[in-house]
Chains A and B, each alone.
Chain A
Amino acid sequence: MGFLLRLWAMIGKEALQLRRDRLTFAMMFGLPIMQLVLFGFAINSDPKGLPTAVLQSDNSKLTRALVAAVGNTGYFSSTQAVSTEAEADELLQRGAVQFIITIPGDFTRKLIRHETAQVAIEADGTDPATVGGALAAIGQAASQTLARELSGPLASYGTPAAPVDIVLHRRYNPEGITRFNIVPGLLGVILTMTMVMMTALAVTRERERGTMENLLAMPVRPIEVMAGKIAPYVLIGGVQVAVVLVAAKILFAVPFVGSFALFGAATLLFITVSLAIGFTFSTIAQNQLQAMQMSFFFLMPSILLSGFAFPFRGMPAWAQAIGEGLPVTHFLRIVRGLMLKGASLEQISGEIAVLAFMLILVSALAISRYRVTLD
């Protein structure tokens, strides 16, 4: 089979060249560790309008006022009204909502009986920066609302020191450790950085050194050149992931609750998408410097708009729209889902589908732009 033989020849050549390129090699393995340590002590922000599921078993004037007040804090946007606990859990696990606010059926009754009523808040703690501000705001909103509502003839009901007890439950990351969020994000950013840049450079290097002309004069097909260039980096990406995971476990004790197989498959998909993007850049760039510049243009939004540097839900709509177009955004959701929430295949299938679609799109673009001639 000619295809495989020529492909194998390309892969072998790339691997040999890679082995001799010491600096690149050092960069590929030194960078992840350096970033992990540096970013481990991170960034914070105060996002608002977070999607919230409200499970309201008691429907009285008081509870309605309470829900409205919670909404008025600006931190919560009640996008989903749910009727069962399972439904709410599913939404949280999929990442569709950040919070579940549960108002138990005996809320009003307890208040009237001068007992302390409870409101439960469950927060998706995988990204602690996202929930911190919101949680601080809710307690205040609740006590102010009740103070206002329980006035006039009802004033006597407001006498207990704390009429409402807010029970907070951080899910997936109970202690709100920022590093648990940073590590999965870092995986995405490191892979984007090295995979996109390395392939972009690998192909432009051939053009710059004049070896591309020689390569094109030989009977290799575009797909063989592309796959042969990409394959060794898939392996390197795999090693990078292993390095980050092990370092994360040792340095920061980040848990991994989901399926490893699913994680491996999703990572492979993401690595391939990133490589295909790098290859596309290389078909546009004239030399290695340009390839480097283009990689940085891609890297910047990947770091800032993917939900890595800043909470995704805290960004304005236009920034979120750009973020949705970046593969790392979707990879980040998958990794957080798998590492911290133990998400199932069905729950991350949407993000996987987006990555697969991106892979097809970018590969088609790369192959259509790759020239077998020097025209």
Chain B
Amino acid sequence: MSGPVIDVKGLVKRYGQRTVVDHVDLTIMQGRVCGFLGPNGSGKTTTLRMMCGLLTPDGGSGTCLGHDIIAERDAIKRQTGYMTQKFGLYEDLTIRENLEFVARVYRLDHVRSRVDAALERLGLATRQHQLTGALSGGWKQRLALAACVLHEPKLLLLDEPTAGVDPKARRAFWDEIHALAGQGITVLVSTHYMDEAERCHEIAYIAYGKLMARGTADEIIDGSGLKAFVASGPGADRLAPLLRDAVGVTAAAAFGLDLHVCGPDEAALEKAIAPFRADPALAWERTRPTLEDIFIHLMGEARDNAEAA
């Protein structure tokens, strides 16, 4: 089967007066890795929790793995692996004890051999009797992922799984995610890292509780209508503070010695950079906006909407 694994419409969650998730629609097909991006407090975690039955939506409806997200929570929980943002295993249990506990809660058969296999895959077989609290951040995350997939879920919801993890461990983590997707598992993973966003099949961007963009990285870049320039030459990077607040500029940032500027309106952007273009030492070139440009732009837009509302 390759229908939608997640199919939710109009999800709303309010805390008091504040609407944390505001009519979010999301459809993810089977076997896809979908990156869930957005600034802190934008409603990513809340959305993930509503999908795996940890929170009851105040509005909207939908299905996960064909089960209703409100009425059939238990069925969803049995087939979903949810990795919490904060390390959710027991630090005062050993690595092996944690995995065995998870296996028993899911009522898996052959607990011992399954846990053995998982430890082997992780490369933690020799450390299985160490307390989990003694593991480094990177290892904890890999262990948490192993615990999530022990019951062979069809859907993985990962909440910022690589926050605070070094690049090598992050890469290993993402290789694992793609290997799982190759087995047909659908993955929804929230992240702040742009390089990780680019490793996803598709992206959903949420800001202030609203879904702002959806599609592959290229679709989002092409669909944004954002224009960008890159300036190189001596002192180009120093121009960032001067351009940042200029009319027509969404973002201006130094990347190494180069300057990267973008804005939604080409004419306005050209006008903003015109005074600096006169400098013969600087070379200005059109460039393709990056995902980061677009997210900063969308965040500003969402904020303006939120303030107007």
Let me know if B55 and A213 touch, CB within 8 A.
no
Q: Spot the interface stretch: A127-135, A216-224, A351-359.
A: A216-224
A216-B105 Cα distance, complex, nearest whole Å? 11
CB closest chain-A residue, reference B86 = A210
Q: Is the CB of A216 within 8 A of B91?
A: no
Chain A window 327-351, contacts with chain B (Cβ cutoff 8 Å), 1 for yes, 0 for no: 0000000000000000000000000
Interface string of B65-88 (1 = CB under 8 A from A): 000000001100110101010111
**Of A9, A213, A372, A375, which is within 8 A of B105 by CB?**
A9
A17 touching B93, Cβ below 8 Å: yes
Given the interface pairs A220-B105, A374-B54, the reply to whether A13 lies near B84 with Cβ below 8 Å is no
A25 to chain B, nearest CB (A): 13
Binds A, one of B96-104, B230-238, B256-264, B292-300: B96-104
Task: Say whether B90 contacts A13, CB under 8 Å.
Answer: yes
* Chain B residues engaging chain A, CB cutoff 8 angstroms: 49, 52-56, 73-74, 77-78, 80, 82, 84, 86-93, 97, 101-102, 104-107, 131
Q: Please tell me if the beta carbons of B89 and A211 are within 8 angstroms of each other in the complex.
A: yes
B87 to chain A: which residues have CB within 8 Å?
Answer: 210
**In the complex, how many angstroms separate the beta carbon of B209 from the nearest chain A beta carbon?**
17
Name A197-240 residues within 8 Å CB distance of B.
209-211, 213-220
Interface contact B78-A219, CB-CB below 8 Å: yes
State which of A2, A12, A372 has its C-beta within 8 Å of the C-beta of B107. A2
CB contact under 8 A between A218 and B102, given known A2-B107, A210-B87: yes
Contact A6 B104 (CB under 8 A): yes
Give the residue name and chain of the A residue nearest to B82 (CB). Answer: A217
Q: Are B54 and A219 in contact (CB under 8 A)?
A: no
Decide yes or no whether A16 CB sits under 8 A from chain B.
Answer: yes
Which size class do A's interface residues fall under? Answer: 20 to 34
Q: Flag if B92 contacts A17 (CB, 8 Å).
A: yes
Residues of B with C-beta under 8 A to A17? 90, 92-93
Q: Is the CB of B93 within 8 A of A8?
A: no
A1-53 residues with Cβ-Cβ distance < 8 A to B are 2, 5-6, 8-10, 12-13, 16-17, 20-21
Given A219-B78, A373-B56, also A209-B104 (CB < 8 A): no
Bound together, the chains give a CA A211 to CA B89 distance in angstroms of: 6
Contact present for A210 and B84 (CB under 8 Å): yes
Q: Is the CB–CB distance between A219 and B97 below 8 Å?
A: no
A372 to B54, CA, bound (A): 7
For the complex with contacts A9-B101, A220-B105, 11 further pairs of A-B residues with Cβ separation under 8 Å are A12-B104, A13-B97, A17-B92, A17-B93, A211-B89, A214-B84, A217-B52, A217-B80, A217-B84, A374-B49, A375-B55
Task: Verify B104–A8 contact, CB threshold 8 A.
Answer: yes
Main SS class of interface, B: loop
In Å, the complex CA distance between A214 and B81 comes to 10
Write the nearest CB–CB distance from A10 to chain B, whole angstroms. Answer: 8
Tell me, in angstroms, the Cα distance from A359 to B87 when the chains sit together.
35
If the complex has contacts A209-B91, A373-B56, are A218 and B84 also in contact, measured as CB distance less than 8 A?
Answer: no
A13 surroundings in chain B (CB, below 8 A): 90, 93, 97, 101
Instruction: Provide the bound-state CA to CA distance between A214 and B54, in Å.
Output: 10
The 3 closest A-B pairs by CB, nearest first: A214-B88, A9-B104, A210-B86
A5 and B49 within 8 A (CB): no
Question: A374 contacts B86, CB within 8 Å?
Answer: no
Evaluate contact between B92 and A21: CB separation under 8 angstroms: yes
What is the minimal beta-carbon distance from A203 to any residue of chain B, in angstroms? 14
Q: Return 9 A-B CB contacts under 8 Å, by A number.
A: A6-B104, A9-B104, A10-B105, A13-B97, A211-B89, A213-B84, A214-B88, A219-B78, A375-B55
The distance in angstroms between the C-alpha atoms of A12 and B86, with both chains bound, is: 23
Residues in A with CB closer than 8 Å to B89 are 211, 214
Chain A residues near B104: list those with CB within 8 A. 5-6, 8-9, 12
Q: Chain A contacts of B105 at CB under 8 A?
A: 6, 9-10, 218-220
| Chain B neighbourhood of A216, CB < 8 A | 54
**Given contacts A2-B107, A6-B107, A219-B106, is CB(A213)–CB(B88) below 8 Å?**
yes
* Bound: A17/B90 CA distance, A: 9
> Which residues does chain A contribute within 8 Å of B101, judged by CB atoms?
9, 12-13
Return chain A residues, CB-CB under 8 Å to B55.
373-375
B159 to A, closest residue via Cβ: A213
Residue in B77, B88, B106 whose Cβ sees the most chain A Cβ within 10 Å: B88
A16: chain B residues at CB < 8 Å are: 92-93, 97
Cβ of B91: which chain A residues have Cβ within 8 Å of it? 209
CA distance A220 to B106 in the complex (A): 8
Closest B residue to A219 by CB, please name it: B77
User: In the complex, which residues of chain B have a beta carbon less than 8 angstroms from the beta carbon of A21?
Assistant: 92
Q: How far is the CA of A257 from the CA of B190 in the complex (A)?
A: 66
Report if A211-B88 is in contact (Cβ < 8 Å); known contacts: A9-B104, A218-B105: yes
B residues near A217, Cβ cutoff 8 Å: 52-54, 77, 80, 82, 84, 88
- Chain A nearest CB from B213 CB (Å) reads 28
Q: A9-B101, A13-B93, A209-B91 are in contact. Are A218 and B49 (CB under 8 A)?
A: no
